[in-house]
Structure 1
Amino acid sequence: MKHRMHSGTRPAPLATGVARLRPWLTGTVLASALTAVSGVFAMVTEAVAQTGDAAAAALGASAVVQSQATSTAAMASPSQVGKLTLDQQVRWLRQAQQSGALEKLDDSQLSALFQSLDPLTVPRLIKEGPNGYPSYEFTMWRWERIRGAWPDKADHMLGKISHDPLRIYAKWLPDGAHAGQEIIYDESKRPDEMYGHLGGLLGMVPIWTSTTGALAHAQSNHQVRDLGIEYISTQYLAEAKKYVEAGVPRSLRIAVETISGVRVVTFTYETAIGQPQFYAKKETLGLDLRHPYFRTVESYDNDGKIFEKIIFESITPKTFDDVAFDPKNPDYKF
């Protein structure tokens, strides 16, 4: 009589052979041995049947090992993280940021944790990101030394950024320098120009101007495209590579600071070479405790004088419509 096999099942030849031999075998020892062999092979056969082939089973085993490594990293206490591999340190740090566990550590715990990490852990964390959001709103304080002069008052700015294409709106707030100024940039329309006005009674007439021209650099050493948190991350990664090449991969000083209400872990890097090979001879960056990007940065020239300081006061993911980047927006002063 022919037996119909269920769809999707596969015969287990060795298991079948064991079953046929069982009536001919006697003795408790032999029976126990056959039972053990049959059980082990059944487990192997089931694994192969579920994955389809031996290669897939091997991949599954690799995934289990990877999962176990991730679990090991996740369960490590802050005092043990420095003993993990580089990959595990990055995973632990990312999970601690996302869960809020990192910001719950006190200053001494945070300082000890980051002192124990591989010097490549923070660069890897920043590189893997995300370093920002598809679109977001931010407020920032910014100081820049322009033509050798340090400002008496910082710029306090409100910004809106959307990517793909890059579109930017920025407004200088009343309690900072250059209050009332506004700019709009849309790379899909005029990639080399921005639209704006200087603010104040005599500067309300908006004009188109080059993003790299004299007017654009009258108050900043940067282009409008440099606004936002992504620029700092990109620059840090480029500098971090050069720090390694210069033999100074580890931060000179790690501390926990609260800067203008923003609590961050700060990393200070300094090289003997300095400018122009590096953006700054000494630079201090403040890592956000909930996200893989920097909230603060201070840059010093070869003479030890600060030439730039930026503090992102708030960063809020938002979705914008086209009106947000339109000079005809009734909320704007163009």
Structure 2
Amino acid sequence: MKHSMSARSRRSPVFMRLARCFSSESATLRTSLTASSRGLVIGALIAGAAAVATAPAFAQNDDTPPALETAAANVVKAPTTSSSQVGKLTLDQQVKWLRAAQQSGAMEKLDDAQLVALFQSLDPLALPRYIKEGPNGYPSYEFVMSRSERIHGQWPDKPDHMLVRIAHDPLRIYAKWLPDGAHAGQESIYDESKRTDEMYGHLGGIMNVMPVWTSLRGALARAQSNHQVRDLGTEYIANEYLIEGRKYIEAGLPRSTQVEVKTVDGVRVVAFTFEAPNGQPQFYAKKETLGLDLRHPYFRTVESFDNDSKIFEKIVFESITPRTFDDSTFDPKNKAYKF
């Protein structure tokens, strides 16, 4: 869809509110990403037993915090305003309603038609505010994800299936490629307190006897992904969503949005499809669909398409669980690892 926006419309109250919101959101979230202990947004997928069972045992404390929804459901009551009336509330009230519906479990109980009608009725700033205010992660957490990327023009035969553990302040990451996905057996560790621009890892198969240090931006890293290891996690997706929103505002372009409920690889989400009039390289993708979790303020799924309408990236967070790790989790000498 191609649209233009007049100078008058750019001075409209809604446009000015959008501009003020997105001009600060990216910087705000970037700060929170480097200090996630103050409340990052995206974390709380309950780890799937079947997926985690394929991974090695990891050292961690016994006092692992409970899943966010368990604690929240005990203290947060479902909102009294019906979903059909939320669009009539003020912006602040809409954001509070979303938070209460999410934490109480009321949102996930809505049927598909109710969810679509709800999000179509909201103020344009409600979803960005909801995502920005989070939390969109935890100080430390574990997730299982499925990820496919088009590399050098080639779409993979099967996705990577990964178990990832993350701790912040400093940022430390352990990733293992699970047996049923591409690059099975591969492992990598990143610790910014030791080497900010390198990661340690080994390939899968017979090559796993050759662990090496490699640049985050080097040929080896780029051979399998268009992203750095630092981009792993739900915070990155939230940040990119807010950055893209700011680009729409700065370019004076409307952000065309299609809302639907989808089940992606078994995960039910409210899917928001954004299509950029100008496409790449001005925007990350010509079209992108982000799937919002129904129990937490983060995106569970991502599907990105290029200017030729070909998919170039698909991510599904199957589970996220808050964890407390000790130093051995990010130590290559951990006996559970194969470095």
Normalised TM-score (structure 2): 0.75
Q: Which runs of 5+ in 1 are unaligned?
A: 1-72
**1:248 CA displacement:** 4.9
Larger radius of gyration, structure 1 or 2? 1
Whole-angstrom distance in 1 between the partners of 2:207 and 2:264? 35
Q: In the alignment, what sits opposite 1:309?
A: 314
Closer/same/farther in 2, CA of residues 114 and 283 from structure 1, 3 Å limit: same
Deviation at 1:118, TM superposition (A): 1.2
Alignment equivalent of 1:331, drawn from 329, 333, 336: 336
Query: Paired residue for 2:232?
Result: 227
Aligned: 1:178 with 2:165:
no
Determine if contact 1:194/1:208 at 8 Å carries over to the other structure: yes
- 1:88, CA displacement in angstroms? 0.9
2:221 corresponds to which letter in structure 1?
A: A
Task: Give the match's secondary structure for 1:316.
Answer: strand
Larger RCO (CA under 8 A, 6+ residues apart): 2
Q: How does 1:1-334 map to 2 (within 5 A)?
A: 74-334=79-339
The Cα shift of 1:244 comes to 3.2
For 1:180, give the aligned amino acid.
G
What CA distance in whole angstroms lies between the structure 1 residues aligned with 2:292 and 2:195? Answer: 34
SS in 2 for 1:331: coil
State the alpha-carbon separation in 2 of the partners of residues 307 and 138 from structure 1: 22
2:328 and 2:334 in contact (8 A); partners too? yes
In structure 2, what is the Cα distance between the partners aligned to 1:245 and 1:206? Answer: 45
Match of 1:52 in 2: none
Q: CA shift at 1:250, angstroms?
A: 4.6
Gap runs ≥5 in structure 2: 1-77
1:86 deviation in Å?
Answer: 1.0
Asked whether the 8 Å contact 2:188–2:202 carries over to 1, the reply is yes
Task: Give the residue type in structure 2 aligned to 1:171.
Answer: K
Query: Is contact 1:141-1:312 (8 Å) kept?
Result: yes
Q: CA RMSD in A?
A: 1.3
* 8 Å Cα contact 1:185-1:224 kept in structure 2: yes
Q: Deviations over 1:253-288 (max 9, x none)?
A: 100111111111000000111111100011000001
Preserved contact between residue 154 and residue 176 of structure 1 (Cα < 8 Å)? yes
Q: Shift in Å at residue 74 of structure 1?
A: 4.0
Q: Aligned pairs, how many?
A: 262
Q: Deviations over 1:195-215 (max 9, x none)?
A: 000111134310111111111
Asked if the contact 1:119–1:250 (Cα under 8 Å) also holds between the matched residues in 2, the reply is no
Does the CA contact (< 8 Å) of 1:240 and 1:249 recur in 2? no
Which amino acid is 1:272 matched to?
Answer: P
Task: Output the CA distance in 2 between the equivalents of 1:301 and 1:108.
Answer: 29
**SS of equivalent residue, structure 1 residue 215:** helix
Q: How much has 1:234 moved relative to structure 2?
A: 0.4
Runs of 4 or more, structure 1, over 3 Å off, are 244-251
Aligned residues with identical type, % of pairs: 77
Distance 1:293 1:223 in 2: 20
Instruction: Give TM-score, length-normalised by structure 1.
Output: 0.76
